[in-house]
Each structure stands twice: as C-alpha cells, then as structure tokens.
Amino acid sequence: MVVHKVVAKVVNRAVNKVVVVLLLTLVSTGCVFQKVKPWERDILAQDKMKLDPNPVETALDEHIYFSKEAASGGQGVGGGGCGCN
C-alpha cells in the first residue's frame, strides 16, 4: 500500500509538471495569433524590412564569392574558380 502511494505521488507530480508546461506554452504563444493592423502594414512593407532588400546585389556578391572560392554549388551555376561560367 505504501508503494501505491509513492507511485501516485510521482505520477501526480509528473502530471502537474506537464500541466504547468502546457499553460506556460499557451500563455507565451498568445501574441502569435494577433493580426497586423492596417496602420502597421506600411512599416512592415518597407524595403529595409525585406529578407533580401537588394536581390540583384546579393546575386552578384554570391557569384563573385563562388568564383573566388573556386567552388560552385548551392546556386545552380556550373564552372570553376576562373569566373568564366
């Protein structure tokens, strides 16, 4: 009977920990479900907020990098390090 009480306490503690973790998760993700307000969209639509604000410059920089490193890969460009793709 003593073993049964010990097991019940251990299970009760485990359940309590799971409940606490679930509650903390729900509370911490509460801000994720908010929509962007119309007056906030102009700030998020600026060029400096883009993941890649200047794709042409990025493509040229990556081309130069891969040419100088004498390697190709990740960009789908063939050729060696001489830059004569």
Q: For the chain, which residues make up each domain, given as ranges?
A: 2-68
34 phi/psi in degrees, rounded to 5? -80, 140
Q: What is the mean pLDDT of the chain?
A: 76
Residue with tokens 């973790």: 21
Q: Using a cut of 0.75, tell me whether the model's pTM lies above it.
A: no
Predicted confidence (pLDDT) per residue in 39-76, tens digit:
888 777 777 777 787 889 988 888 888 777 665 555 55
Longest Cα–Cα distance in the chain: 82
Residue 71 has a pLDDT of 55
